[in-house]
Chains A and B, each alone.
Chain A
Amino acid sequence: QSALTQPASVSESPGQSITISCTGTSSDVGAYDFVSWFQQHPGKAPQLIIYDVNDRPSGVSNRFSGSKSGNTASLTISGLQAEDGADYYCTSYTTSSTWVFGGGTKLTVL
């Protein structure tokens, strides 16, 4: 049950786009399309922003999008806004009927 691999941090200017990768194995990310992404602001509970690789819950901005290729999933945020600055986590279902999170990525909007 090793954590999925995410970059520790990413930064970009407002209005630009960023992509955060989430790399797993053929036993998790590569096995199913049950990949979700969460946004977490300091001191707050995580909030679901992408599920099933590329679907958005109602109320989540269409600036957030997801994709997957092989064992790597990705989250793209376009038109960066100051309020997008937060920690982002991916998670995947695994072939052991468990779940695994990524280590998290801190996004700084410059």
Chain B
Amino acid sequence: QMQLVESGGGVVQPGRSLRLSCAASGFTFSNFAMHWVRQAPGKGLEWVAVRSYDGSKAFYADSVKGRFTVSRDNFENTVYLQMNSLRAEDTAVYYCAREDDVTDAFDIWGQGTMVTVSS
């Protein structure tokens, strides 16, 4: 079945870096834009970034612009989120989500991976 599985979360000190991965299966990965969405503990959802289906375009939330980079490998069916200069306020569960190519809706989500930024 169609599935997204995130990995790479953990505890990291402020100012350090972390790379998250999201492995896709059960669908033609290269046909879909992929997003990252995060949720701080007890808070709401926050859109983070998107990489277009062919990897040619990326867009970011102002809160992460210049620090985070979203990339993808359409041969490995994986999207990545490189997070640099991490701050305490980046602490959250990070979800990857597929953007349906017809409706532009986030129709498939992973289970999330927790990132904690703390000294």
Chain B residue numbers with a CB within 8 Å of A98 are 47, 50, 59-61
Given A45-B110, A46-B95, A98-B61, CB of A51 within 8 Å of CB of B47: no
Q: How far is the CB of B8 from chain A (nearest CB, A)?
A: 17
Inter-chain CA distance A91–B48, complex, in Å, is 13
Q: Does A3 contact B (CB under 8 A)?
A: yes
Q: Are A52 and B103 in contact (CB under 8 A)?
A: yes
Within 8 A of B (CB), among A74-110: 87, 89, 91, 93, 96-104
Q: Are B105 and A51 in contact (CB under 8 A)?
A: yes
A44 — nearest CB in chain B belongs to which residue?
A: B111
What interface size band does chain B fall in?
20 to 34
Q: Are B35 and A3 in contact (CB under 8 A)?
A: no
Q: What is the predominant secondary structure among interface residues of chain A facing chain B?
A: strand
Within 8 A of B (CB), among A1-45: 1, 3, 34, 36, 38, 40, 45
A1 — nearest CB in chain B belongs to which residue?
A: B62
- Other-chain contact of A55, B59, B103, B106, B112 (Cβ < 8 Å): B103
Given A46-B95, A102-B44, A104-B44, CB of A97 within 8 Å of CB of B106: no
Given A34-B104, A89-B45, A99-B35, CB of A45 within 8 Å of CB of B111: yes
Q: Could you list which residues of chain A lie within 8 angstroms of chain B, going by C-beta atoms?
A: 1, 3, 34, 36, 38, 40, 45-48, 51-52, 55, 57, 87, 89, 91, 93, 96-104
Q: Could you list which residues of chain B lie within 8 angstroms of chain A, going by C-beta atoms?
A: 35, 37, 44-47, 50, 57, 59-63, 95, 100, 103-107, 109-112
